[in-house]
A and B are shown apart, each in its own frame.
Chain A
Amino acid sequence: MSDHAIALTVNGRQFTEQVEARLTLGDFLREKLGYTGVHMACEHGVCGACTVVVDGLAVRSCLMFAVQADGAEITTVEGVAAPDGTLNPVQQAMRECHALQCGFCTPGVVMTLTSLTEGGNKPDEKTLLQAMSGHLCRCTGYQGIRKAIKQLAAGETA
């Protein structure tokens, strides 16, 4: 059972921490750093609630160890809105289209869609919808999510 020192950036802030090897990235972000927007549900890769962006790519934070994120740049849902609280285009579209109910699956959905649409990328609706196969919404609020994706793909919010 080994412990490891890691240094990483989360939402632009630098952290140096000591972690047990078996600690998942998701548990680390929530419990050690307090980013409770990272929602842990199934904890074995099925639901997508725990999705965060690691070095630009949306990944499941329950399927990666914190120690593997040494040197990485991570964004959680806490890091996507502007500092003054202005929502990012994904959050804005989801808000306008009522794309969340209880909100448990929401941070994961936001992170997948943000990773795909950031930096001027304009994937089509089909690409965005296909990426949604990696998320379960227990409230089954899929129609709202689909609507938000349609709006995002059409570029009506930006």
Chain B
Amino acid sequence: MKPAPFDYVVPATIEEALEHLDRGAGDATILAGGQTLMPLLALRMSTPGIIIDINRIPELQGLSRGEGATRMAPMTRQNVALASSDLATALPMLTRALSHVGHFQTRNRGTVGGSISLGEPAAELPATAVALGAEIEAHSLNGSRRIPAEEFYIGPYATVLEPDELVTAIHFPDWAKGSITVFHEVARRPGDFALVGLVGAITLDQGRIARVGLAWFGMGPTPIKSAQAEAALMGQDPASIDWKELAAMAVSETDPFEDHSASADYRRSVGRSIFARTLPGALNQGAKA
């Protein structure tokens, strides 16, 4: 359970980090909070030649509210984001998801950007980024780009990020005040990765669904946007929805796997139940609030 040897560098600026990444040419790994990477190193599932520690780059810390969006610097610690009252007001869905990430002790070091860039398929934050329509900003020495979260993930721990790119911000668009939080996670113990999870947001306008974003986690090789269910919900009056039918449609968009804790069928069955229960429940509560 000891990591294989590697070279360690600790840049002080984004520019310096990018130079290291460029020079590392695929043999370098970014160390953010380390709460997912360190176990992979200890188990020697990851054996990079160079580790670039971005914990001492001040520009990569903190969150700020801007025009129509919240900008999350990637090294914002999960517990810092969770404690932010600005975030709880602007994006209660994200605050809710954060409260389910790991444990108190791992959230003290774990970062929002680290979780989002690694892309563990059963983790809360990548799916939340997909559901809420976040954009991931990445820099390399050749420039920068913004990648919609729903196009970012291509497999377990695999993203469209190039080896020389560094995530420098995550932009979460605003959701109208009063938008409803959808969140349900089934895990074996609190703090474990989800067996099945559903996250999202719904905005009502005069009793009808005017905007909706939904994504599954633990239900496939990547977080999965429930695009068909979203389309079916748009413009609807929640009272007239057949939730069972819609839940079946939403689950048909997923691609769950079998592992030691659950079969794919079990995951589908749990997915249908939590969808059919969580959405009407959240909408009811939202209507009362």
Chain A interface residues toward B at CB < 8 A:
1-2, 4, 20-22, 24, 27, 42-46, 48, 51, 57-60, 62-65, 67-68, 112, 130-131, 133-134
Contacts and interface: CB of A to CB of B under 8 A. Distances in A.
B38 interface: yes
Contacts of A21: 5-8, 51
A112 B39 contact: no
Given A45-B35, A62-B38, A112 B7 contact: no
B96 interface: no
A60 B8 contact: no
Contacts of A45: 35, 38-39, 106
Q: Which 10 A-B pairs rank lowest in CB-CB distance, beginning with the nearest?
A: A134-B103, A21-B8, A1-B5, A43-B1, A44-B39, A131-B104, A63-B38, A57-B108, A134-B105, A22-B3
A60 B105 contact: yes
B8 A43 contact: no
B109 A112 contact: no
A54 to B, nearest CB: 8
B156 to A, nearest CB: 18
A42 B102 CA distance: 16
**Chain B contact residues, majority secondary structure:** loop
A21 B39 CA distance: 16
B37 to A, nearest CB: 9
Contact of B105 (A24, A27, A112): A112
A75 to B, nearest CB: 14
Nearest to A55: B108
A22 B10 CA distance: 14
Interface of B: 1-8, 10, 34-35, 38-39, 41-43, 51, 53, 55, 79, 102-106, 108-109, 189-191
B236 to A, nearest CB: 37
A144 to B, nearest CB: 19
Contacts of A48: 103, 105
A130 B82 CA distance: 14
Contact of A58 (B2, B51, B104): B104
B5 A20 contact: yes
B56 to A, nearest CB: 9
Contact of B7 (A2, A58, A131): A2
A46 B42 CA distance: 12
B4 A22 contact: yes
A58 B110 CA distance: 12
Contacts of A58: 104-105, 108
Given A22-B3, A133-B191, A62 B106 contact: no
B104 A63 contact: no
B43 to A, nearest CB: 6
Nearest to A22: B3
B48 to A, nearest CB: 11
A28 B210 CA distance: 55
A15 B105 CA distance: 25
Contact of B8 (A42, A44, A64, A67): A67
Contacts of B4: 22
Contacts of B109: 57, 59-60, 63-64
Name which of B1, B38, B103 has the most chain A CB atoms within 10 A of its CB: B103
Contacts of A44: 1, 38-39, 42-43
Given A58-B104, A131-B105, A22 B39 contact: no
A100 B232 CA distance: 54
B43 A51 contact: no
Contacts of A57: 79, 108-109
Contacts of B104: 58, 112, 130-131, 133-134
Contacts of A112: 104-105
A65 to B, nearest CB: 7
Given A22-B3, A45-B38, A134 B106 contact: yes
